[in-house]
Chain A
Amino acid sequence: MKISVNGKERECAENATINTVAQELQLPVKGVAVAVNNKMVPRAEWDSFTLHGHDRLTIIKAACGG
């Protein structure tokens, strides 16, 4: 199925969880946050959070700024 990650389309397995995608993207253990359809999902729920087609993931990390 197709999902989008930070605005870019991506293919992922049916019944994939956020954890599946996080592993594929090699997300670091710290310093990132994920939202699905503009709702933040705590890391503790990544493993049980099943994605659906057309879900929009936003993944952020630290940047320099004032």
Chain B
Amino acid sequence: MKKLTIAGHEFDSRLFLGTGKFSSNALMEQAILASGTQMVTVAMKRIEMGDKDDDMLRHVTRPGIQLLPNTSGVRNAEEAVFAAQMAREAFATNWLKLEIHPDPRYLLPDSVETLKATEQLVKMGFVVLPYCQADPTLCKRLEEAGAATVMPLGAPIGTNKGLQTRDFLRIIIEQANVPVVVDAGIGAPSHAAEAMEMGASAVLVNTAIAVAGDPVQMAQAFKQAVEAGRAAYEAGLGAAGLTAAASSPLTAFLD
């Protein structure tokens, strides 16, 4: 498989993992290892006094894994820039998953604020991976603003509904000059494989793995699906047709 390159960095794995919703940090760590991922998201929260939490960073900080802090919780570009600065300081990386979704019911990204924040953050030296609507025009604008990837949604976060936006994802992939990472809504390995067969550069999966009966086995399943989908894309899928096309000789042994 071809390596994935983002902002000059090469990745063997095309599966990005979110760290939310696991029942324990230990299980999350095992799932990360089983997935073979090299890109792991991390959120931020306010420290509470006397906090004796198990530090999640300890479970995700490994050689070969790029931390991808997100800006979850921000409502506009101004808050996103603040969160980005805090993330860069806390995690010593300028990589950023920009996500601005002020509406708590559907968690849909605010396109206007996302574009505005991308423009500012790129100028501030961040490697910006924006979570965005599956809007081909917006994705071009994000690319022009200097986004390192675009990360259009397949369906709303955590819904496990798969690639509801597939027709638009196809257009985005066709037009993009930066990697397209399908983020959100991927609920089954088959969804991930579909995105990869379509030519997506990578997928970001969280809920589907974290809430599975066996998250570690599900992480392996996603790893295989992403690899299979990518291999199929690189191999070149056959064209679909309406009428039958024989794959066995029809006249070889009967007169």
Known: A28-B55, A31-B57, A40-B82. A62 touches B91 (CB 8 A): yes
A8-66, CB < 8 A from B: 8, 25, 27-28, 30-35, 38, 40, 42-43, 58-66
* Chain B residues in 8 Å Cβ range of A8: 49
- Judged by a CB distance under 8 angstroms, whether B149 is at the interface is no
Interface of B, secondary structure class, is mixed
* Chain A residues in 8 Å Cβ range of B20: 64-66
* Chain A residues in 8 Å Cβ range of B45: 60-63
Contact of B48 among A6, A33, A34, A42 (CB under 8 A): A6
Known: A6-B48, A65-B20, A66-B18. A42 touches B70 (CB 8 A): no
Bound Cα distance from A65 to B42, whole angstroms: 5
Q: 9 shortest A-B CB distances, which residue pairs? A: A65-B43, A66-B18, A66-B206, A63-B45, A33-B89, A33-B90, A33-B86, A40-B85, A64-B19
* Chain A residues in 8 Å Cβ range of B70: 65-66
Contact of A43 among B42, B72, B89 (CB under 8 A): B89
Contact of A62 among B21, B42, B157 (CB under 8 A): B42
Total count of chain B residues near the partner, CB < 8 A: 33
Interface residues of A (CB under 8 A from B): 5-8, 25, 27-28, 30-35, 38, 40, 42-43, 58-66
* Chain B residues in 8 Å Cβ range of A27: 47
Interface residues of B (CB under 8 A from A): 18-22, 25, 28, 41-49, 55-57, 70, 72, 82, 85-87, 89-92, 157, 204, 206-207
Contact of A61 among B41, B44, B72, B92 (CB under 8 A): B44
* Chain A residues in 8 Å Cβ range of B57: 30-31, 61-62
* Chain A residues in 8 Å Cβ range of B47: 6, 25, 27, 32, 59-61
Known: A59-B46, A60-B46. A33 touches B87 (CB 8 A): yes
Q: Is the CB of A63 within 8 A of B49?
A: no
* Chain A residues in 8 Å Cβ range of B43: 62-66
Q: Can you give 14 A-B contacts (C-beta < 8 A)?
A: A6-B47, A25-B49, A31-B91, A32-B47, A59-B47, A61-B55, A62-B56, A64-B19, A64-B43, A65-B19, A66-B18, A66-B41, A66-B70, A66-B207
Contacts A33-B44, A62-B55 supplied; 8 other A-B pairs, CB < 8 Å:
A6-B47, A33-B87, A35-B86, A62-B42, A62-B90, A63-B42, A64-B56, A66-B70
